[in-house]
Structure 1
């Protein structure tokens, strides 16, 4: 037997090492593929059940602060899956806890629960049984997706490195529930690393939309307080000048026309969208008098946070420059909730994960900010790095348009399948990465 030289031995050693490394990588890749195949199979298996529970929620809607039956249904569903369940933190909230077989990160999936006070036409056969109350914003879909993710992940518990908390949050429509849950000590119980959530909306079913940073415009209610004494003509002239100052849009754009968010040329998915770099008022000023003082109020929508501090001084200057300095009592923001701001790093990671697993067309990049709407998910994001997604609910061929808070609001229930499959996979991947 010929004696091998030292260099040949080194070459053989490196070759074997590389072959072992490649086999290990192939095994990891195969394991990953198996997990996500399991996710898809399980999602399909429970889909009809999730549709049924969504319809149950739709038929039995409950307003913010009254989600008692909804809480009981969610609680029992999670208990049947074997999750630890906590209630009593705030209102009718539910927290389901799923611990993976291995230690790791702690991630939250949040779903909101409450319905709307309205009596709009509802095209569904399974209409609300409660007069004047509807799930006209899609929270019934959100709860079905949340329960579906919980079930899929519970079936893949052995593959999870860490813990998933499923927060079912009451009172989103009143912008109260998230803040109250935090104020009542939620984070002392769960202490998560990341948080995720979604909202079904009018983009096409099968599509998910997301962007880093602000998803919505900043909403502020401004109040101008003057001493009485302005004539009708003076009031009209002054408010017109202020209105002109509070108006910045792209040429020919009308960002208040929400139906345009799905337009291929000017909608959210187009880099040239009209839903960016704007400031406008929600209609005209509301005027009223009290105790010999005049008040003018309106809601503003601004996309750029750096411009917010310029608004009040700018309005004050217009009033003073027009000779009403002695009548000016105050200009102030009297209402303004925080807006949803997605963590840049997590948004990039989530986008790459979903595109790699389910194709580039699964994720549409959002280039704008939606006015009028907002979500108290923003309070969670002030404490926890997180990402908020839009989930497509419209099916234009079927005439299904998921325009929230609108008459004939309807959602293609295939969105449930998309949500459960995609976000189950996302949470698994995020848990299993250091």
Structure 2
């Protein structure tokens, strides 16, 4: 072994001489760092494999006992106890049923947060799992049970590697994501006066293939807005139909022959998110229907729209106003406005580039897939954290097409390949270690 090591050092020395690493001391430090780094991530993989079955079990417990937004009491208790058993400092008094676990490394350094959402959905879709929900009308139909298992797994792996951590990791288990309320409330109730992360990371399981991670800088989703039109003196059924058709046509910009509202296409290699020519970029469309109603002799027209380009948003209201005026309703028009619109997830460019490079260097180029589009319909209140803290939001593949497992969120027969837990814990534990150990 000694001879092999010396031979290797001599070989590396010759390769690095052009880079200025000529001294024996510099070379030994460089080689020692590389060896230690490899050892740390081998430990991450081994620990992930060791706890995998335990994480599957707790995920299934979450799945069988789902709780709606604002009611995550049992979920909070389970997470709290898990983190306490790991030796983390735990806070549960910030907002609602939130949990924050604090893991301090053995060395000083920067502070990083990992966020997992907790709540389930109000639905009663067919569930192909044997460990179905025990609560009628409530399901983990969006994958938050997977997210919590991944978050707990990362906490356990990192707690076993405290000596390798230069800094602090905050594990934020956030309630009320489905109502787009929890993140903002945690911030409003003083989260950042208790913890002060330099960076924040999170994920969402998607219909991409299991084992795959996807990320891109800037917007991950389309901008989602609900536009409302108010007209006095009311409109007839025929007038309403004609006007909403004109507005819908104005609010439509798609590539010829494409249907970016068909979410099943996001995994299609020819037109999906991984193709530079994806149909999921540069589009504008409505959800295909208007809500129309009358009140106090006034007509109201409302619909959701999805726009990929933020610079186009300011043109929508004036454009709709012009459509209405040109249709002969100028004297009836009372208002056109966005009556609902949440911030969208926007990934920090520098952190995204760094994260992608780290994961590909550690676990192979195919670990992280390129994302060339923006997903419509969905969004995540992780965006509120990103308004305060530079952060990155990943997609984690959960489908296994050979097994018939399709992780299409909010749909019937939603199912996730639990190997995605292993993928998430291993990759993101390593990512956080690497990010902590960089200045």
TM-score normalised over the length of structure 1: 0.96
Work out whether 1:291 is the aligned partner of 2:296: yes
In the alignment, what sits opposite 1:375?
380
In the alignment, what sits opposite 2:400?
395
Work out whether 1:190 is the aligned partner of 2:174: no
Q: Deviations over 1:194-216 (max 9, x none)?
A: 00000001000000000000000
Relative to structure 2, which stretch is displaced further, 344-353 or 236-245?
236-245
Q: SS at 2:321's partner residue?
A: helix
- Partners of 2:435 and 2:253 in 1: CA distance: 40
- CA positional deviation for 1:428: 0.1
Select 1:160's aligned residue among 156, 165, 170: 165
In the alignment, what sits opposite 2:310?
305
In the alignment, what sits opposite 1:333?
338
Q: SS at 1:322's partner residue?
A: helix
Q: Which 5+ residue runs of structure 2 have no aligned equivalent?
A: 1-19
Work out whether 1:85 is the aligned partner of 2:86: no
- Partners of 2:243 and 2:55 in 1: CA distance: 55
- Partners of 2:241 and 2:65 in 1: CA distance: 47
Q: Deviations over 1:361-399 (max 9, x none)?
A: 000011000000000000000000000000000000000
Select 1:130's aligned residue among 120, 131, 135: 135
- CA positional deviation for 1:234: 2.5
- Partners of 2:21 and 2:289 in 1: CA distance: 75
Please, what is the CA RMSD of the aligned residues? 1.2
Q: Is the 8 A contact 2:115 2:171 kept in 1?
A: yes
- CA positional deviation for 1:17: 5.4
- CA positional deviation for 1:229: 4.3
Work out whether 1:262 is the aligned partner of 2:267: yes
Q: SS at 1:64's partner residue?
A: coil
Work out whether 1:233 is the aligned partner of 2:238: yes
Q: SS at 1:111's partner residue?
A: strand
Q: Is the 8 A contact 2:21 2:27 kept in 1?
A: no
- Partners of 1:383 and 1:377 in 2: CA distance: 11
- CA positional deviation for 1:24: 1.1
- CA positional deviation for 1:236: 2.1
In the alignment, what sits opposite 2:327?
322
- Partners of 2:327 and 2:134 in 1: CA distance: 56
Select 2:361's aligned residue among 328, 332, 356: 356
Change in CA separation of 1:139 and 1:16 when aligned onto 2, cut-off 3 Å: closer
Work out whether 1:173 is the aligned partner of 2:178: yes
In the alignment, what sits opposite 2:350?
345
In the alignment, what sits opposite 2:8?
none
- CA positional deviation for 1:16: 9.8
- Partners of 2:409 and 2:327 in 1: CA distance: 41
- Partners of 1:190 and 1:412 in 2: CA distance: 34
Q: How many residues align?
A: 421
Q: SS at 1:326's partner residue?
A: coil
- CA positional deviation for 1:429: 0.1
Select 1:18's aligned residue among 8, 17, 23: 23
Work out whether 1:95 is the aligned partner of 2:126: no
- Partners of 1:72 and 1:234 in 2: CA distance: 55
Q: Which 5+ residue runs of structure 1 have no aligned equivalent?
A: 1-14
Select 1:51's aligned residue among 56, 75, 78: 56
- Partners of 2:244 and 2:288 in 1: CA distance: 12
- Partners of 2:236 and 2:417 in 1: CA distance: 53
- CA positional deviation for 1:241: 1.3
- Partners of 1:285 and 1:388 in 2: CA distance: 32
- Partners of 1:16 and 1:341 in 2: CA distance: 39
- Partners of 2:143 and 2:290 in 1: CA distance: 31
- Partners of 1:240 and 1:70 in 2: CA distance: 46
- Partners of 1:95 and 1:233 in 2: CA distance: 55
- CA positional deviation for 1:227: 1.1
Q: Is the 8 A contact 2:234 2:294 kept in 1?
A: no
- Partners of 1:414 and 1:276 in 2: CA distance: 30
- CA positional deviation for 1:283: 1.5
TM-score normalised over the length of structure 2: 0.95
